[in-house]
Amino acid sequence: METGARGSRSRKLRVVGGSLETARVLCYCTALIFQLYLSSENVHMALKIKVLETKIVLQNLLICAAVFYTVFYLLHIICFIALGLDSFDELGPFDFKENPSWLNKKYLANLISLEVTFTICGLIFALLVEEWIWDYACTITLIHVIITSLVKMEFPLEAHWWTSLGIGLTAMICEGQILAYLLFRHNFIYPVLDDF
């Protein structure tokens, strides 16, 4: 009986160990980004944009990423409870290999949480960053594809996953840009295209 308890504990540690390895990679990448930012504190960028503006963009991107994954996991938990799944998959938001079927509850949980996350985050991003919602949405989606590839150790090639990702991204961009325009249209900064 004691051996069974140790065996189950070691199985849990292996799962957590894999998650910890992924978390270490993500922390390392984040540390590299901030190190690059700190090393270029007094440097101007190619289009004469000061680093202070770069700092704000990176800060907004970090906030948007945190909001995106918080909403994603909350909705994944809600779908898990609502659909009555047997076991919770902590890597569910990164699962692109699930069999696409309306009868597959795990696939439905992944699909619903993905689409509703993109829908909600488009509105939240508009309130957070006020402009260039499409840029933040595309960047967060690219980060999600990269993290998904790192977590699953394979690049997603499934058409159903890319289709749902594309639909969610389009919804996020459209609703976010429309809301930002309606709320902040008098504060928009329009680029000067004379230099091009």
Can you give 106-133 as a three-state secondary structure string? Answer: HHHHHHHHHHHHHHHHHHHHHHHHCCCH
Residue appearing with tokens 């991107």: 61
Q: Which of 126, 101, 128, 112 is nearest to 77 (CA)?
A: 112
pLDDT at 120: 94
Give the confidence band of 5 by pLDDT, cuts at 50, 70, 90.
very low
CA gap 65, 176 in Å, rounded: 15
CA gap 54, 59 in Å, rounded: 8
**pTM for this structure?**
0.67
Q: Identify the residue with better confidence: 6 or 60.
A: 60
CB atoms near residue 21 (< 10 Å): 11
List the domain boundaries for the chain: 1-39, 56-184
Q: What is the pLDDT of residues 75-118, one digit of tens each?
A: 998 988 898 888 777 877 888 888 888 888 888 888 999 999 99
8 A C-beta contact, residue 153 and residue 21: no
